[in-house]
Structure 1
Amino acid sequence: MTVPIAIIGTGIAGLSAARALQAAGHAIHLFDKSHGSGGRMSSKRSDAGALDMGAQYFTARDRRFAATVQQWQADGHVAEWKPLLYNFHGAKLSPSPDEQVRWVGKPRMSAITRAMLGDMPVTFACRITEVSRGEEHWNLLDADGRSHGPFSQVIIAVPAPQATALLAAAPKLAGVVAGVKMEPTWAVALAFETPLNTPLEGCFVQDSPIDWLARNRSKPGRESTVDTWVLHATSAWSRQHLDMPKEQVIDQLHGAFAELMNCAMPAPAFTLAHRWLYARPSGAREIGALSDPDLGIYVCGDWCLSGRVEGAWLSGQEAARRLLEHLN
């Protein structure tokens, strides 16, 4: 009997590692505490259509990742997004064109992780709370007290604070991961029956509680009868208002949005708020992935590399590479 490899987390990093291991002929099993794949690439279904509340777009600088994105594009899972971009600085809006190629999942961000997952074995709505090693195999325990295993190796692909809690069996790795701080982000969606009178489709914001905003329907494949905007608050504002009730978060960011747009802002027909507790790492790291091959435990995530979608994918590849190297 082949003993599979466990992968905790079905964001880009976990799925990237899973695909690489499966391609090398290994049996894997994925776990995720959510009801679907994607992590911060997931999209929220709403009365206003699917909304990208997490990652807004991504870039591809590394040639390996660029080749993968080309394949996703050929398969119809991603498309280039060419928004009319602005900057808001010193209380003024100004156009901010650049040459950067930006990609989005199509028809929603989660299309990418859904395609990556394919028919790989996965257990959703299962929060792993403990990872323990027996004489030769790993076992996982979930929040409902169920045991999963045995597994030959374990890859942990979740945000650093959540990973630390799962690394009791690998104190050296736990020590490194515990030093990684992650910043929160409040995300708010506002939908308007009558489209706002502005050419703006994306904006980098300074001097405001808002850090970024995007017009959802300017992205390829987004069908919507209403004009929906996604606002991301700054890390500092989100940290200060971490436990603020969602209604108040919506009110405050709606107010900041109205101030910034300087156009008639009707009451939204629909609102949604989502708090990402671990949205991005504070400070850049270039560790690729973490591993203790003798124990058979590996850690990856966007926080190992730059905090971007590309970093997550590369980190998953690196974890898989180390694991395969050890097995061979």
Structure 2
Amino acid sequence: MTVPIAIIGTGIAGLCAARALQDAGHAVKLFDKSRGSGGRMSSKRSDAGALDMGAQYFTARDRRFVNEVQRWQSNGWAEQWKPQLYNFKSGQLTPSPDEQIRWVGTPRMSAITRALLDDLPVEFGCRITEVFQGKQHWNLLDADGGNHGPFSHVVIATPAAQATALLAAAPKLASAAAGVKMDPTWAIALAFDQPLDTPMEGCFVQDSPLDWLARNRSKPGRDTTLDTWVLHATSAWSKAHLDLPKEAVIEHLHGAFAELLHSAMPAPSFSLAHRWLYARPSSAHEFGVLADADLGLYVCGDWCLSGRVEGAWLSGQEAARRLIEHLQ
């Protein structure tokens, strides 16, 4: 009987590692505490259509990732987004043209991870709380007391703080993960029955509680009946208002948006807020992957590199490569 490899987390890093391992002939089993795949690449279905509340777009610089994104595009999972971009600084709104190629999942961000997941065996709604070693193999405990196993190796593809808690068996890896600080982000979505009177489709914001905003419906393949916007607060504002009720967060950020547009903004016909506790690493790291090959533990994620989607993909690739090499 082949003992599968456990993969905790179904964001880009976990799914990419799972695909590479399966392509190399290894059995895998995935676990995720959420109801669906994607991590911060997930989209929220709502009365206002699908909304990208996490990653807003991604870029591709590394040749290997460029090739992968082109594969996603040819499969219809991703498309270039060419927004009219602006900067907001010192109260001034100015156009911000640049040459950067930006990609989004179509018809929503989560389309990519959903396609990568495909037919891989996965258990959703299952929060793994402990990773422990039996005589020969690894077992996982979940929050409901369920035991999963045996597994030959474990790949942990979660935010740093969650990974730290699962690394009791590998103190060195645990302490490296514990040293990575991750910042929170409050994200809100607003929908308006009448389109807002602005050509802006994306904006990098300074001197405001807001950090970024995007006209969600300007992305290819989105439902366009309502004028939908996604706003991200700065890490500093999010940290200072971590436990603010969602209604108050929406009110605050809606106000900051109105200030930026210098207009009396209509009340939204729909709004929602989502708090990302571990939105991005405070600084870039160069781990690539954290690994203890003798133990059979591997840790990957965007925080092991750049904090970007590309970093997550490269980290997952590297974890799979190291594990496959060890098994040869």
TM-score by length of 1: 0.99
List 4+ stretches of structure 1 deviating above 2 A.
none
1:261-303, CA deviations, whole angstroms, 9 ceiling, x for partnerless residues? 1133100000000000000000111110000000000000000
Alignment-mate amino acid for residue 39 of structure 1: G
**Matched residue SS, 1:69:** helix
Deviation string, structure 1 residues 30-87 (Cα, Å, up to 9, x no partner): 0000010000000000000000000000000001000000000000000000000000
- The whole-number CA distance in structure 1 between the counterparts of 2:67 and 2:124 is 29
Structure 2 Cα separation of the partners of residues 91 and 197 of structure 1 = 18
Which residue of structure 2 aligns with residue 73 of structure 1? Answer: 73
Q: Which residue is equivalent to 2:298? A: 298
In the other structure, the counterpart of 1:284 is 284
Amino acid at match of 1:260: L
1:325 deviation in Å? 1.1
Q: Where do 5+ consecutive residues of structure 2 fail to align?
A: none
Residues 169-188 of structure 1: pairs in structure 2 closer than 5 A: 169-188=169-188
For the residues of structure 2 that align with 1:300 and 1:144, how far apart are their CA atoms?
25
Partner secondary structure for residue 120 of structure 2: coil
CA-CA distance at 1:320 after TM superposition: 0.5
The residue type equivalent to 1:67 in the other structure is: N
C-alpha contact 1:41 1:110 (8 A) present in aligned 2: yes
Please give the alpha-carbon distance, in whole angstroms, between the structure 2 residues aligned to 1:263 and 1:221. Answer: 29
Aligned AA for 1:253?
L
Name the residue aligned to 2:247: 247
Contact 1:197/1:263, CA 8 A, preserved across alignment: no
State the match for 1:13 in structure 2.
13
Alignment correspondent of 1:60? 60
Distance 2:200 2:264 in 1: 14
Structure 1 distance, partners of 2:300, 2:199, is 39
Instruction: Please give the alpha-carbon distance, in whole angstroms, between the structure 2 residues aligned to 1:75 and 1:186.
Output: 32
Counterpart Cα distance in 2 of 1:87 and 1:317: 35
Instruction: Please say if residues 289 and 318 of structure 1, whose CA atoms lie closer than 8 Å, have aligned partners that are also in contact.
Output: yes
- How big is each residue's C-alpha offset from its partner over 1:184-218, in whole Å with a ceiling of 9 and x where there is no partner? 00000011111000000000000000000000010
Whether the 8 Å contact between 1:48 and 1:224 is mirrored in structure 2 is no
The residue number in structure 1 matching 2:98 is 98
2:142 corresponds in structure 1 to 142
In structure 2, give the amino acid aligned to 1:52: D
Q: Which amino acid aligns with 2:218?
A: S
More divergent stretch after superposition (292-301 vs 261-270):
261-270
Structure 1 residue 310 corresponds to structure 2 residue 315? no
**Alignment correspondent of 1:225:** 225
Once the 2 structures are TM-superposed, how far is the Cα of residue 134 of structure 1 from its aligned partner? 1.0
Q: Distance in 2 between matches of 1:60 and 1:284?
A: 17
Q: Distance in 1 between matches of 2:120 and 2:224?
A: 31
Cα distance in 1 for partners of 2:175, 2:254 equals 40
Measure the CA separation in 1 of the matches of 2:35 and 2:188.
21
Aligned to 2:156: 156
Q: Percent identity?
A: 78
Deviations 1:224-260 (A, max 9, x none): 3110110000000000000000000000000000000
- What is the match of residue 208 of structure 2? 208
Inter-partner Cα distance in structure 2 for 1:18 and 1:263? 48
SS in 2 for 1:214: strand
Residue number in structure 2 paired with 1:191:
191
| TM-score, length basis structure 2 | 0.99
Q: For structure 1, list consecutive stretches of 5 or more residues without a partner in the other structure.
A: none
Task: Tell me, in whole angstroms, the C-alpha distance in 2 between the residues paired with 1:71 and 1:19.
Answer: 14
Aligned 8 A contact 1:190 1:230 in 2: yes
SS in 2 for 1:325: helix
The residue aligned with 1:238 is 238
Structure 2 counterpart SS, 1:322: helix
Contact 1:211 1:232 in 2 (8 A): yes
Residue 5 (structure 2) pairs with residue 2 (structure 1) = no
Q: Match of 1:233, as an amino acid?
A: A
Question: Match of 2:41?
Answer: 41
Aligned equivalents of 1:312 and 1:26: distance in 2?
A: 21
Contact 1:288 1:315 in 2 (8 A): yes
Q: Partner amino acid for 1:232?
A: H
